[in-house]
Amino acid sequence: MSEEIYKQQHELANLIERYSEQDGVHPTTIPSLYLIRESMVTEPISRVNETSFCIIVQGEKEVLLAEECFRYGPGHYIVASADLPVTGQVKKASADTPYLALKLEFTPNQIFDMLSDSKIQVGKKKNAKRAMYVSKVEPSLLDAVIRLTRLLENPKHIPVLAPLFTKEILYWILQGPHGESLEQMAIKGSNGDRIRDVIEHIISNYDRPFKIEELADIANMSVATLHRHFKVVTAMSPIQFQKQLRLQEARRMLLADTSGIAEVAFRVGYESQSQFSREYSRLFGFPPRDDINRIMEKNVQRIKA
């Protein structure tokens, strides 16, 4: 890591610590900007990761997308160019040296506007690419991130300058070695854009059965072409993608209220409780009730600590 990047990350770490005194994910007065702090290694957390950019300045994190593992720390950033069901875990953190990160969410329209304004030459016919990647951070990108975060010190400038700095951040991400992955998800009518439409449909209707032909119609692709591009983008088949969504939502429901396992299984779209329990155990490593009791016990221990 260069001395310039080291100094930039030190400044960004100080800013994040100043506005996130407690562990957790902290929304800010800047739209779509979140600051994250964790003072200990966390349990794996499964959730839908929104289209976003995340940079770590202290500590390390591991993100699982299906069977694919992304581990990153200072000097690197991760981009999700579509909404994806993932499992994330902070792997390196302590009370003295907490995990510190910044997340910026964005929309495909913001990327499309950037492509239009910058007159970057793009092609619709390019193959879709994986919608998640880790890349090495550059000083130009870090500089834009720091200027955006500094606006927290002068909130009156946020309405005018935050959109400009966000646009600059997206520009530098697009200029990076994996920028084409983000570009292809935003170009109207591209293969990536059509797969994103399918992703949005599955997320909105995760608890309902679907026919693969229905998804192919949404994407305006043949069934075989849809399967191929969907797997490239998400590392899963459409059925596996839906299953991840269902099981993640079931876990959230079981943690949030006292609903029985059978009721939750039905609410997320399962007709068989035994099938639900088998698939839940396969994904999370424990049967539903054991898993929830384990998580709740660890949360109590963490609060006491």
What value does the mean pLDDT of the chain take? 92
- Is pTM beyond 0.85? Reply is yes
Tell me the pLDDT tens digit for each residue of 37-70: 999 999 899 999 999 999 999 999 999 999 999 9
| CA nearest to 170, candidates 81, 250, 243 | 81
Tell me the pLDDT tens digit for each residue of 24-42: 999 999 999 999 999 999 9
At residue 125, the pLDDT reads 62
Class of domain 246-304: mainly alpha
Tell me the pLDDT tens digit for each residue of 257-284: 777 999 999 999 999 999 999 999 999 9
**What integer is the mean pLDDT of 4-30?**
94
At residue 303, the pLDDT reads 64
Which part of the chain has CATH 2.60.120.810? 3-184
Query: In Å, what is the CA distance from 51 to each residue of 32, 109, 153, 177, 282?
Result: 11, 11, 26, 18, 27
**Per-residue pLDDT band at 305 (split at 50, 70, 90):** low
**Per-residue pLDDT band at 113 (split at 50, 70, 90):** confident
Tell me the pLDDT tens digit for each residue of 182-211: 888 888 888 999 999 999 999 999 999 999
Alpha-carbon span 6 to 16, nearest angstrom? 15
Chain-centroid distance of CA 68 in Å reads 14
What b/e string do you get for 280-296 counting C-beta neighbours within 10 Å, with b at 16 or more?
beebbeeebeebbeebe
Which part of the chain has CATH 1.10.10.60? 186-240, 246-304
Alpha-carbon span 133 to 78, nearest angstrom? 6
Q: Which fold has domain 3-184?
A: Jelly Rolls (2.60.120)
More confident call, 267 vs 179: 267
How many other C-beta atoms can be found within 10 angstroms of the C-beta atom of residue 17?
15
Alpha-carbon span 13 to 15, nearest angstrom? 5
Tell me the pLDDT tens digit for each residue of 115-170: 877 766 565 567 788 999 999 999 999 999 999 999 999 999 999 999 999 999 99
What is the DSSP secondary-structure string of 210-245? --HHHHHHHHTS-HHHHHHHHHHHHSS-HHHHHHHH
What is the second-level CATH architecture of the domain 186-240?
Orthogonal Bundle (1.10)
Phi/psi at 70 (5° precision): -120, 115
Tell me the pLDDT tens digit for each residue of 60-102: 999 999 999 999 999 999 999 999 999 999 999 999 999 999 9
| CA nearest to 56, candidates 26, 84, 36 | 36
